[in-house]
Structure 1
C-alpha cells in the first residue's frame, strides 16, 4: 500500500484459526519502498497483540443442578441471597412497614417505638444454591490431536458453565494448572466474569498422563453444596475425594470419544450404587450430547 507524507494508512488482514485459544499476532519487520518501488528500507517492528479465539458454545436443554435457593429451610447458613428475603432469623435482610398477616415475632420493637408505628423485620434467605465446577482433563498426544482434544474440553466446559449460569446458578470454576503447580479458581456470577473465565481457560495448561496434581484442592464446607465434575478419566478415588460434609449433590460429566473410550462397567456400577448422576459428552457429537445434559443421565 502507499501513503502520503504526514498521513496514515491502514491494512486489514483476515486471519482464520482452526482451534480456539490465545494466539499471539506479531509484526516482525516492515519494508518501506520508494515511489517507483525500486528500492526499500527495512525496519524491525517489535509489535504484537494477543487474540482470543473463543470456543463454540452449545445450549443445554436441562438444568444439572438441583435448585435449592428457594426451598423452605429452618437451619442457618453463612451465605444469603442479596435480592430476596427468607425465613432465617439469624440474619436480617431489611425492614418494612407492617402489613396484614405478619407474625408478631417479626416486629422490630426498637424501630417501632422510635417511629411510632409497627416496623417489621425481613429475615434472610439462606443461599444453598452455590456450586463448584471442577475441570479435570488429561491431554494425550501432540500436534493436531492435542489441539483437537483441548478444543473439545474447553468447548464442553464453557458450554456447561454458560448453561448453569443461564439457569440462575452462580458457581466457581476450578482447574489444576500443572505448569504453575496450583489450582486456578474463577467465580462466575455474570456474563463479564464468564468471559474473563473463558479467556483464562484458553491459557490453561492441563496435565498429561505423566502428571498429577501436586496437592489436593483445599475447599471449605461453605464453598458450595452442589459439585459438578467434568473429566475425561473417571476414577473412584477422585469421586470419593470430591465428596464432603454438607454436599447436596455430586454431578459427574464424562467426556471422551465414547466409541473408543466408553465408561468402564466397574465405574458405572460404583456410580449407580453411590446414587451419583452421570452424564456423558461424546466429543464426536458435541452439540447433541451437551444439549441433553440435565435431561438424560445414566
Structure 2
C-alpha cells in the first residue's frame, strides 16, 4: 500500500512539473484530475464501508474427526460500485490445543449484491473449534486508502471423538445389582428418609416436612432432620481432562484419552450398565457427575466437556474429591502422576478401581504394587501435523 502511494505521489509531482513547464488548459486539467482523484476514491471507499455488512455462520454445529465443515462469510455490499480488494481476518482456536491462530481471506466484494465465501475446516482431534471475526480491511481500486469494517461474530463447532477404541481395551466390570445401595455419603445430605444425615436448627429455606417434632419440643427450638444421600452402586467413569503438554502430539494424546473415555461409555451403555460420567470442568470449578443411561447422554456430556478448556497440566484433578459417588470407578488418564495414584489408592480401599493409562509407549512405566487394576492402552503416534 505504501508503494502505491509513493507511485501516485510521483505521478502527481510529474503533473505539477508538467503544469509548470507547459502552461495551458491540458496541463491544468491534468493537475486538477490528479489532485481530486484521490479525494473521489476516499469518498467512494467511505460509501462502500458504510454500506457493507459482514457476518459469519457455520454450516453445522457438530462434526466428527476428519470430517470437513465450512465457515460461511456472508458479505453484502449495497454500493453499486464493487470493492476492488478486501481482506477478512478470522481468529480461530481449538479447545484442546489452546493456541489461537489467524487466517486472512482475500476477496473482492460485488456491488449491490450478496455473496458467500465458504472456508473449509477439518481437524483430526476432538474438541471445540471457535472462529471469531476481526476487522475487515477494504481498499480502493488504486490501494491508496483502506478502511476497517468491524465483524465480531463468533461461531463454534464441536468435534466429537471416535468410539472405535474398544479392541484395545480389556474386559470391563460386570453390571452391578439392581438393588438399592446401602452406602451413604458421609459429607453431604440427600433426600433418602431411610437414614438421617444430621439434625440441625431450622434455617431459612429448609423444608417444613423435615421438622423433628420430638426434639423441637424438648429443646424449644425448631430442629430439622437432614436425610442421607445414597451412593449409587454403579460405575463412575472419570476422564483426566488435563493438558498433556503444548506440542501437537500432546494434544493428539489427550484426544485419544477422550476417545477411549467415549468408547467405554458407549460399551457400558450397550451392556446395560448404569454409569456416571465425570471430569474436572475448568469453567465450573467443581466436580459434578453426569448421569448416563444412553448413548445420547454420553454425547450430551461430551458436548458439555469439550465446550470448556482442559485443566492445566500441573493440577491433580482428583484432589478435590472427598469420596466417590459410586461403588466402582474407571479412570482414563495420560498423566499417571503420583498424587493422582495416591488418591486412587485411597478410593480403592472402599470400591473397585480400574485405571486405563493411554500412552504412545507400548510398555509405559506404571506404579507397581497398586491396590487397583491398572491397564496400559497403546496408541500409535501419528506423524507431526497441525491440529
> Are the structure 2 counterparts of residues 258 and 197 from structure 1 closer, same or farther at C-alpha, using a change threshold of 3 Å?
same
Does residue 161 of structure 2 align to residue 161 of structure 1?
no
Q: 1:79-98 to 2 correspondence within 5 Å?
A: none
Q: 1:280 aligned to 376, 379, 386, which one?
A: 376
Structure having the larger proportion of residues in helix: 2
Distance of 1:162 and 1:234 partners within structure 2: 27
> Are the structure 2 counterparts of residues 128 and 199 from structure 1 closer, same or farther at C-alpha, using a change threshold of 3 Å?
closer
TM-score with structure 2 setting the length? 0.47
Q: How many residues align?
A: 221
Cα offsets for 1:125-180 (capped at 9, x unmatched):
xx976211122366443232431222222222222222222222232122234676
Once structures 1 and 2 are overlaid, which stretch shifts more, 164-173 or 182-191? 182-191
Distance of 2:309 and 2:253 partners within structure 1: 13
Distance of 2:177 and 2:154 partners within structure 1: 46
Q: 1:227 aligned to 314, 320, 329, which one?
A: 329
> Are the structure 2 counterparts of residues 279 and 140 from structure 1 closer, same or farther at C-alpha, using a change threshold of 3 Å?
closer
Two-structure CA RMSD over aligned residues (Å): 3.7
Does residue 360 of structure 2 align to residue 257 of structure 1?
yes
Q: How many Å apart are 1:204 and its aligned residue?
A: 4.2
Cross-structure match for 2:255:
151
Structure 1 or 2, whichever has the larger Rg, is 2
Maintained 8 Å contact 1:186/1:197 = yes
Cross-structure match for 1:64:
172
SS in 2 for 1:199: helix
Q: How many Å apart are 1:16 and its aligned residue?
A: 2.0
Alignment gaps of 5+ in structure 2: 1-107, 184-193, 195-230, 383-387
Maintained 8 Å contact 1:67/1:129 = no
Q: 1:72-151 to 2 correspondence within 5 Å?
A: 77=181, 130-136=234-240, 139-151=243-255
> Are the structure 2 counterparts of residues 154 and 282 from structure 1 closer, same or farther at C-alpha, using a change threshold of 3 Å?
same
Distance of 1:242 and 1:52 partners within structure 2: 33
Distance of 1:134 and 1:11 partners within structure 2: 41
Distance of 1:176 and 1:240 partners within structure 2: 19
